[in-house]
Amino acid sequence: MRISDVVKRKGDTVITVRSDASVTALLDLLSEHRIGAVVVSDDGRSVDGIVSERDIVRHLQKVGAAVLDQPVSSIMTSEVQTCRPEDELAELEHTMTENRFRHVPVVVDGQLRAIVSIGDVVKHRMTDLQAERDQLTAYIQQ
């Protein structure tokens, strides 16, 4: 199974935020789209960073409410692990688990194409397991 299989099921819409946007604007974006992380991209195509709810919470604890007025660039992760559509899903699962992150941008030729969350991976895996179970049940009942 490949990353492209997950993207086909979930879609390739990616919400991005500019690095100079405020953390408050980021919170509005996360709430509006009911998502847990956003790719930071000043041009909407490149991956300049990634920022998640966890980043906000950690910086809120360190800095206090003043973090809300800071730019997203002050709390984002700059070194972003990405993947390609042709990468194996099992490899991504391992990488996400080992490195303890939940969102990975999908990049083609340096351009942002999609984002995959651990929830997307689990949902894809569960759907495949259910299909396999149904096939085995049908085979046994014949």
For 39-68, how does the pLDDT look when each residue is reduced to its tens digit (9 = 90+)? 999 999 999 999 999 999 999 999 999 999
The number of C-alpha atoms within 13 Å of 36 and in the hemisphere containing its C-beta is 10
Reduce the DSSP state of residue 115 to 3 states and report it. strand
Domains, the chain, in order of start with CATH, read 3-141 (3.10.580.10)
| pLDDT tens track for 14-45 | 999 999 999 999 999 999 999 999 999 999 99
Instruction: State how far Cα 113 lies from the chain centre.
Output: 12
| pLDDT tens track for 85-132 | 999 998 999 999 999 989 999 999 999 999 999 888 888 777 777 777
Q: Which pLDDT score is estimated for 126?
A: 78
Q: Which pLDDT score is estimated for 105?
A: 97
- Residue closest to 11 by CA, chosen among 124, 130, 128: 124
- Using CA atoms, how far apart are residues 29 and 33, in angstroms rounded to an integer? 6
pTM of the model: 0.84
One-letter-per-residue 3-state SS of 76-100: CECCCCCECCCCEHHHHHHHHHHHC
Q: Which pLDDT score is estimated for 65?
A: 92
